[in-house]
Amino acid sequence: MRCLVGLGNPGSAYAATRHNVGFQVVDALAARHGIDVAKRRHQALLGRGRIGEVEVLLVKPQTFMNDSGLAVRRVLEYYRLEPCHLLVVCDDINLDLGQLRLRRAGSPGGQKGLRSIGQHLGRTDFVRLRIGVGRLETGRDATGFVLSPFRASEREAADDALQQAADAVECALREGLEAAMGRYNS
């Protein structure tokens, strides 16, 4: 089983923000594959199903972004999964809007949800898919930026990026990580 985690903040006030693109990709995958992500357990919303031939657990932590690792650790422990079974989808303010970056492992690069997961797991060798939500403008507050919605002029590119990210996850499951990295990393 693969554990696909979308990072975001719980609650309707955050639903359409840049910080919640991870949740939105999980929602897109759930809709495409008929998986209900509504079971509350381990401080997360969970949905179990299949994407192609692969059994998956879709996860939306219900902690806030900075504490995502708590929910992820609990889910992995309960289902007896290792970090090598984990794929985390999150926002990245260091990538241009719509740019995707799929990696086998790495540093959190300022993404506090990834940092929390690394701290709670005690390792950073898990797959992550970063989605560019637009680069932070000089002098702008990072928190205010990621907690803001996309501007109308950005919406089409953001929606395309979310669908491309869902495609990249499906490709990684179907054809392997190297194929997905070659096709979707921009």
Question: 56 in helix, strand or coil?
Answer: strand
Number of domains in the chain: 1
> CA-CA distance, 177 to 169, in Å (whole number)?
9
Residue 130 parent element (H or E): strand 127-132
Q: What is the per-residue pLDDT for 65?
A: 94
Q: Select which of 19, 42, 85, 120 is catalytic.
A: 19
Confidence of residue 142 (pLDDT cuts 50, 70, 90): confident
Q: Phi then psi for 91, rounded to 5 degrees?
A: -80, 160
pLDDT surpasses 90 at 140: no
Residue 169 parent element (H or E): helix 152-175
Identify whether 33 is a catalytic site residue. no
Which structural domain range is residue 133 located in?
2-184
Percent of the chain with pLDDT over 90: 91
Alpha carbon distance, N-terminus to C-terminus of the chain: 28
pLDDT surpasses 80 at 138: no
Verdict on whether the full-model pTM lies above 0.85:
yes
What CATH number corresponds to the domain at position 69? 3.40.50.1470
Average pLDDT across the chain, whole number: 95
Residue 87 DSSP code: E
Question: 43 in helix, strand or coil?
Answer: coil
pLDDT tens for residues 41-92?
A: 999 999 999 999 999 999 999 999 999 999 999 999 999 999 999 999 999 9
Q: What is the per-residue pLDDT for 167?
A: 98
